[in-house]
């Protein structure tokens, strides 16, 4: 069923009656990404980034046909991102006075680059404007770690006298000891735990399996 949808979509796009509008192609990208086994979070990130660009394009009376979008337009979008307040378009959080971080801007542009690479791979475009574009690098910052006193205070807040409290204590300890992601933790099953080997098998980003000790 999914392959039929993809074939139908690509035939329509690549036919003489091309539908190369950015908004329409978001749907096609999501279909193909699902067939390639990309995670739902990754697909959501890329499609959200493309929709953000689409909003900018419409607001500035720029053609939304991907055949017309150039590196110049994408540079304009980068400048626009530098002027956007954090959570300005978030459906739930209130906008803040601070601007988007360098990490956020870098993530938006890398997501758009992935989308444009898909356009090129599928033969929808001949030239990729990202070949002429340099994406702003994300700033490198040292993430502060918890002090021993902070860890002690954190664990002291958990009431281990109840089953729920003991569970929460175990969760917090596991996260601190292994440094796995929360998304990795919630997908763990009992069969992934090796008590004798004191190890845990987790599925990480990109559907990569690894063992944590």
Tens-digit pLDDT profile for the chain (213 aa)?
A: 667 777 776 776 666 556 888 988 998 899 889 888 888 888 999 999 999 999 999 999 999 999 999 999 999 999 999 988 766 565 555 565 678 888 999 999 999 999 999 999 988 999 999 999 998 888 887 778 888 899 888 888 888 888 888 888 888 888 888 888 888 888 888 888 788 778 888 777 766 778 877
Closest among 169, 177, 173 to 212, alpha carbons compared: 177
Say how far apart CA 54 and CA 114 lie, in whole Å: 16
Residue 200 bridge partners (DSSP): 193, 212
Q: Where in the chain is the domain with CATH 1.10.150.130?
A: 2-132
Say how far apart CA 213 and CA 200 lie, in whole Å: 6
Tokens 């990490």, located at residue: 103
First to last CA, the chain: 41
- pTM comes to 0.71
CATH for the 2-132 domain, from 3.60.15.10, 3.40.50.720, 1.10.150.130, 3.30.230.80: 1.10.150.130
């Amino acid at each position: 069923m999914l392959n039929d949808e993809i074939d139908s979509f690509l035939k329509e796009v690549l036919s003489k009656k091309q539908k190369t509008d950015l908004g329409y192609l978001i749907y096609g990208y999501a279909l193909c990404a699902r067939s390639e086994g990309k995670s739902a979070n990754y697909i959501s990130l890329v499609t959200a980034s493309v929709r953000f660009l689409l909003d900018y394009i419409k607001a500035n009376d720029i053609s939304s046909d991907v055949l017309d979008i150039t590196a110049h337009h994408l540079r304009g979008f980068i400048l626009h991102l530098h002027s956007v307040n954090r959570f300005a378009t978030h459906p739930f959080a209130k906008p803040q006075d601070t601007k988007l971080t360098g990490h956020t801007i870098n993530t938006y542009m890398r997501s758009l680059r992935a989308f444009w690479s898909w356009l090129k791979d599928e033969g929808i475009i001949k030239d990729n404007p990202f070949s002429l574009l340099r994406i702003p690098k994300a700033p490198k910052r040292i993430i502060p770690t918890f002090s021993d006193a902070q860890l002690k205070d954190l664990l002291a807040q958990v009431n281990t006298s109840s089953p729920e409290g003991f569970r929460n204590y175990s969760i917090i300890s596991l996260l601190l000891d292994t440094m796995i992601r929360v998304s990795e933790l919630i997908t763990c099953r009992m069969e992934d735990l090796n008590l004798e080997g004191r190890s845990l098998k987790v599925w990480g980003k990109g559907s990569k399996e690894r063992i944590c000790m």
